[in-house]
Structure 1
Amino acid sequence: MVARLVCFVAGVLALSSGLASAHGSHSNDQPQSDDWATRHMMEEHHIEGFDAPSFFTLHDYDASGAWTTEEVRKTYGMDDESNKGVDQSRKEAAVRQVFDLFDPTNTGTITRDAWLKAVAAGTRLPDLGFGPGHHGDMEYEYEIHHFEKFHGDDTTEDDLTHPEDIEHFRRHDEEELAQIRLEKLERMQVVEVNIPSKFRRNF
């Protein structure tokens, strides 16, 4: 069925049972949190027990030892479809807000040491209004925000009737059709539709 996807970091993170909410919605209309990192870990990763080094490592996607602006955007889910209607200037301002807190010397990255020092001094990631930080792929988001909450190991295909199930498999079908079309084009020696009309022979 759907593969279970849970991120583990250095064996120090403990799994929680997760939070139940309305059918896996990606709505961002929940009240803002005073502790956004904890909200993120519980809602997006189903993890309760974590520390500052673990949180940093989990969101250092390229394992470089520093967070870039792109990694901060990803962690906050700014590029997730749930935030596609948000103006880019607001997203840029939000990223600057995080960097003002954790990169006070304007190096352009948030290093692990800078992160740990700021957290030890009481600085926390602010809730910037982008929701819990959806940053997984389609399978992960469906699994953790819907399937785990409303289905189980004994779920059959006939049980997958929620709107979220239908939309998930519709997107799967769409991706498969797109892949089939691409493979068909790649097998063609010449793709006629890609030739400008002035260079085509008129028969």
Structure 2
Amino acid sequence: MKISSIIYYLSLSISALAHGDHSQTVLKKKPANLRWQDWHMSEEHNLDEYDGKTFFLLHDLKGLGKWDHDDVLNLYGIKHEQIIGDGSGMGENSITITKETQRMVVDSIFQLFDLNNDGTISLEEWLSFHDAGKELPDFGFGQGHHLDFESEYEEHHWNKYHAQNDPDTKIKHKEDIEHELLHHKHEIEETHDRSSRLKKFANDYLSNIRLDNLTPKYRI
């Protein structure tokens, strides 16, 4: 087979493997009657009533009495590179969280709180904001799920309905089926992502092949 034919069929096969649906998911929208932090506490922590200090301590990941950049990203559920489904273990497609997006969220929050510009948000700075009845910005990433989508499904559904009485998940709820579909779809998308890396590697390799260095019988 001529080298040109090999390149042609290799490129076709890699392109087919890399093809996939990477459209963006529809995340949940905040109810109009709730502040973002109230929605977050209700949905993610099952707390409809809380005080400002409780909120702060729940999101102080390192227990240092202050929030840093990672704490803010964790609060909004954008610490990881992707939000799978709607972040709850259910949903459809995934969205990519870029470094630019993370930087925008962190910068916006620190402009609200870090009044002494020390690179952290103290309990006092948070309480001054919270006790004044102010609302955290809604950046459109849902209610801020902290865990990966498998752990979120276990936390909010499997532990509640299956862990004790139905560990083999013989009773299927809508949430179980949706989670299984999301799990398999994510596996396929990961395969496609790996294939795109394979495509780049192959293209980089093939771009270094100089046809003019081949003996005449292998040329086009």
Structure 2 stretches lacking a partner, 5+ long: 1-24, 84-93, 187-220
- Ranges in structure 1 where 5+ consecutive residues have no aligned partner: 1-25, 172-203
Deviation larger for 104-113 or 155-164: 155-164
Structure 2 residue corresponding to 1:159, chosen from 149, 171, 189: 171
Letter in 1 for 2:65: G
Q: State whether structure 2 residue 141 is matched by structure 1 residue 130.
A: yes
Q: Percent identity?
A: 34
Q: Max radius of gyration: which structure? A: 2
Q: What is the CA–CA distance in structure 1 between the aligned matches of 2:142 and 2:160, rounded to whole Å?
A: 18
User: Looking at both structures, which has the greater relative contact order when contacts are Cα pairs under 8 Å and sequence separation is at least 6?
Assistant: 2
Is the counterpart of residue 94 in structure 1 residue 105 in structure 2? yes
Q: Relative to structure 1, is the Cα distance of residues 49 and 121 closer, same or farther in structure 2, using a 3 angstrom cutoff?
A: closer
CA distance in 1, matches of 2:28, 2:164: 31
The structure richer in helix per residue is 2
> What is the CA RMSD across the aligned residues, in angstroms?
3.0
SS of 1:140 mapped into structure 2: helix
TM (norm. structure 2) is: 0.56
Task: Note if contact 2:28-2:143 (Cα within 8 Å) is conserved in structure 1.
Answer: no
Count of residues in correspondence between the two structures? 147
Label 1:168 to 1:151 Cα distance change in 2 as closer, same or farther (>3 A).
Answer: farther
- How far does the alpha carbon of each residue in 1:87-118 deviate from its partner, in whole angstroms, 9 at most, with x for none? 32122111111111111232110011111112
The answer to whether the Cα contact below 8 Å between 1:73 and 1:79 also exists between their aligned partners in 2 is yes
TM-score (norm 1): 0.60
Deviation at 1:133, TM superposition (A): 0.6
Residue in structure 1 matching 2:120, options 90, 109, 121: 109
1:183 alignment partner in structure 2: none
- Residue by residue, what CA displacement relative to the aligned partner does 1:120-158 show, whole Å, maximum 9, x if unpaired? 233321111111111124553012444367657433432
Check conservation: 1:59, 1:75, Cα contact below 8 A: yes
